[in-house]
Structure 1
Amino acid sequence: MAIWDFVKDAGKSIFGKAEAATPKAAEPAAKPAQDAETTRKVNALKAELKALNLDKDDVHLTLRGDTVKIETRGADRETLEKLILAVGNIEGIAKVEADLPPAQGDAKEPVFHTVAKGETLSAIAKKYLGDANKYNAIFEANRPMLSHPDKIYPGQKLRIPQ
């Protein structure tokens, strides 16, 4: 299982305030409050994946502290890379664990880039793809997490197409 590191304090805020979550009445009283909070956060992560159209039936998320483990049987390599980024680029998540499917043919290991302050997709494209005008390839490789090429932020991790 591979582990990807993310900037814990950067990303989309989806967890909200802990006080807003109330444990379900059906939960046994013996369960600690931590379990209710973890369940609430996993549900928020699943809702985010659904909003991005990445919520396949066989995607299972496990949250331990600030680490999310993704398990899936049906996702191809590109989809799993997007799942990793969609979950990892959430504020409060520091690590994502997942097993990537084996590379097909001459496919290379995924390349991820963490956006630095002041960087643009054009600068990132020049660095990795040799041409600033290829920024759209990076934008497309990160859809649906990116809605516009200018909407990237420091600490965000992006897929670099090979």
Structure 2
Amino acid sequence: MGLFDFVGDIGRKIFSKKEEASEAVTNHIAEDNPGIENVSVKVEDGVAKIEGTADSASALEKAILMAGNIAGITSVTTEGVTIKSGEALAGDDEFYIIQKGDTLWKIAEKNYGNGAKYTAIVEANKEVIKDADKIFPGQKIRIPKSL
């Protein structure tokens, strides 16, 4: 597992001081925990280092996106995470960076040929997309390939 890059100056602002970052990001992931036991995040110079035991690759991918879509985080590392299932990351899904003018409907139309399937994208990203009408350029999401 490795390093995942993000745009550091966009996203949800959950901490204002560098000293608060590790605890804030850990708590953020723990609130909507996608399936990471003993989750802990250490943030240094914009790099969030996730530790814990993931139930699945999908759970870890969600935690990566949760951390990476926070303002002030430029990359996420996962060397400290074990995946119980032994799966590799990004198996059937792909990561997508939202562009200016994108809507979930347009993204679903492009990927599935049917905009109404945007709900599958919302469901796959429920820890990151709290409101389907509030996505932003630079935000990184998962696009499920198997529907």
2:49 is matched with which residue: 62, 69, 74? 69
Which deviations, in whole Å up to 9, do the C-alpha atoms of 1:75-117 show, x marking residues without a partner? Answer: 311111110000000001011112574438xx82541111111
Once the two structures are TM-superposed, the CA of residue 146 in structure 1 deviates from its matched residue by 1.5
1:153 is matched with which residue: 109, 117, 136? 136
| Alignment-derived partner of residue 63 in structure 2 | 83
Would you say the 8 A contact 2:15–2:21 is kept in 1?
A: yes
1:87, 1:143 → 2: CA distance?
A: 14
Unaligned runs of 5+ in 1: 19-36
Structure number with greater Rg is: 1
Output the amino acid matched with 1:151: K
Q: 1:109 to 1:4 in 2, by over 3 A?
A: farther
Count of matched residue positions in the alignment of Structure 1 and Structure 2: 140
CA RMSD of aligned residues (A): 2.2
2:42, 2:124 → 1: CA distance?
A: 25
1:69, 1:109 → 2: CA distance?
A: 24
What is the TM-score with the length of structure 1 in the denominator?
0.76
Unaligned runs of 5+ in 2: none
| Alignment-derived partner of residue 39 in structure 2 | 59
| Alignment-derived partner of residue 30 in structure 2 | 50
Q: 1:51 to 1:58 in 2, by over 3 A?
A: closer
1:129, 1:57 → 2: CA distance?
A: 33
Secondary structure of the structure 2 residue equivalent to 1:145: coil
2:55, 2:87 → 1: CA distance?
A: 13
Q: 1:76 to 1:44 in 2, by over 3 A?
A: same
Which deviations, in whole Å up to 9, do the C-alpha atoms of 1:40-84 show, x marking residues without a partner? Answer: 210111221233234844212222211111122243111111100
1:69, 1:110 → 2: CA distance?
A: 22
What is the TM-score with the length of structure 2 in the denominator?
0.83
| Alignment-derived partner of residue 2 in structure 1 | 2
| Alignment-derived partner of residue 127 in structure 1 | 110
2:69, 2:5 → 1: CA distance?
A: 10
Output the amino acid matched with 1:53: N
Would you say the 8 A contact 1:49–1:55 is kept in 2?
A: no
